[in-house]
Amino acid sequence: MTTAEPGTRRHELAAFLRSRRERITPEQVGLPRGRRRRTPGLRREEVAHLSAVGVTWYTWLEQARDIQVSPQVLDALAGALLLDPTERSHLFALAAQSDLHPETACPAVTPALRELLHQLEPVPACVQNSRYDFLAYNRTFGRLYCDLDALPREDRNTLWLAFTDEDFRAAFGDLPEVLRAMVGKLRASMAEHLAEPAWKALVQRLQDASPEFRELWDRRDVADLAGRAKVIRNAQVGVLHLEHTNLWLGPAAGPRLGTYVPLDEESRARLERLLELAVRDEAQATRETQAGQPTREAQAAQAAREAHASGDAQPAREAQAALTAA
């Protein structure tokens, strides 16, 4: 197999970006259409603003200039252009970069499995990979520890939330024990992925963010993935007594379906209440969208534009993270 010349790769990347930009309507990303729009889809400056990069830099990228593009920028562009998992993978391949946050690369997350997650409600259930990213989950699980839907995609990881998200941490009465077990499980799982960029990036990100994680990681303890009874303090419905079980979706200890079955009637009733709250909020969001009120996507896009107008890059990145998560 031959490797494409850098110039060929750059032109393919430029053409792909243009094609994806031209297929998106302004309304899809919360932008006004305006009266004099002649460009099909989004304008270059709109993509630049949504992805929190410079307009000139993005223009050069579409012109196949010889410039370097980082995985972080590619991640932002993938979100701004609403790329699906296959398109996202193609984008990173054309740029010759490794995706630090691969989107649901697990072939086990099929439409049938998503329907199963739905049918299991009110029992919380999710699909995770061996790196503890949440690949899919039902509405009850989305509210079990914290509001997962409100988080950027790259933050939907058990380890990251356990060491950085106060709502997630507050759900555990035995937090120190839980953290030790989580780090031990990650250490054991990583043995087969030591050279993979996504794994190394996750560990580095945790080390940068949490002295608590660094201390536990340096112990080099390992733990197995056995399920166990859990006591979860949900902020909306109270204490839940649940039995956690892992069901592997393939022959290897990789993607798995996790279920949280209630151990008593009170916990079951509280899970039913949690589902009711999720359904209510879902219906409210639908009503607001139909009434023309701004969605979370539109609000995030507006925040990104305002941040760019003020010259403050950090809020722009935060706004884009909210946009790509929705």
| Res. 306: pLDDT tops 50 | no
pLDDT score recorded for residue 305: 42
Cα–Cα–Cα angle for 9, 13, 16, rounded to 5 degrees? 140
Split at pLDDT 50, 70, 90, the class of 102 is low
- What are the pLDDT digits (tens) for 225-277? 776 889 999 999 999 999 999 998 876 566 889 999 999 999 999 999 999 99
Q: Is 118 exposed, middle or buried (0-12, 13-18, 19+ CB in 10 A)?
A: exposed
The pTM of this model reads: 0.62
pLDDT of residue 115: 93
Cα-trace Rg, the chain: 21
What percent of the chain shows pLDDT beyond 70? 82
For every residue of 189-207, DSSP letters joined together read HHTT-TT-HHHHHHHHHHH
